[in-house]
Amino acid sequence: MLNSPSVLISMVTIVFAKSNRLPEVTVIENAPHLAYENKEMWASDYKVREEGLFLIIDYPYSHLLLFLNHEQDTLAQLNIKRKFDKLYQDVFGNLHLLSVDSAYQVLCDRRSLSLGFGVSIETFRQKLEPVKILTDSIMVLQKYVNM
């Protein structure tokens, strides 16, 4: 054992707070499930878009497609068949109402809703649903997205 005095080393650590400012973002796909707060109805599907919310509402004796502004005021509604239970937005920005056997384009002029062009669900799944990315010169289909 060496005869040396004990050496005491002290260290001072200075920590500075640093904050990072994140850019502003708008979340449009992960909207809350309770987008329309009415205890007597059930929203089976919804889409949040820039112009407002589209909801499929199931009442006990009716089935509605509602168009609401972001303050949840009803701007337009359309009675639909009970078989329609899904909303789908394609890469062109069009909204479609889907059932197990058919798909219809939803037309909205901010005061009224109507169903436009309709096709079988097989045709819709073969022709429109596989298109995942669209630019002015390129169209990417689903089979190439996950390669």
Residue pLDDT tens, the chain, 147 long: 455 555 555 566 566 666 666 666 666 555 545 545 556 668 888 898 888 899 998 877 788 999 988 888 889 999 998 888 899 888 778 899 999 899 999 999 878 899 998 889 888 887 776 666 666 666 566 665 455
Q: Give the count of domains, the chain.
A: 1
Q: Decide if 88 is inside a domain.
A: yes
Instruction: Fill in the amino acid letter for 36.
Output: Y
This prediction has a pTM of 0.63
Domain span at residue 77 reads 42-145
Q: Decide if 140 is inside a domain.
A: yes
Q: Decide if 46 is inside a domain.
A: yes
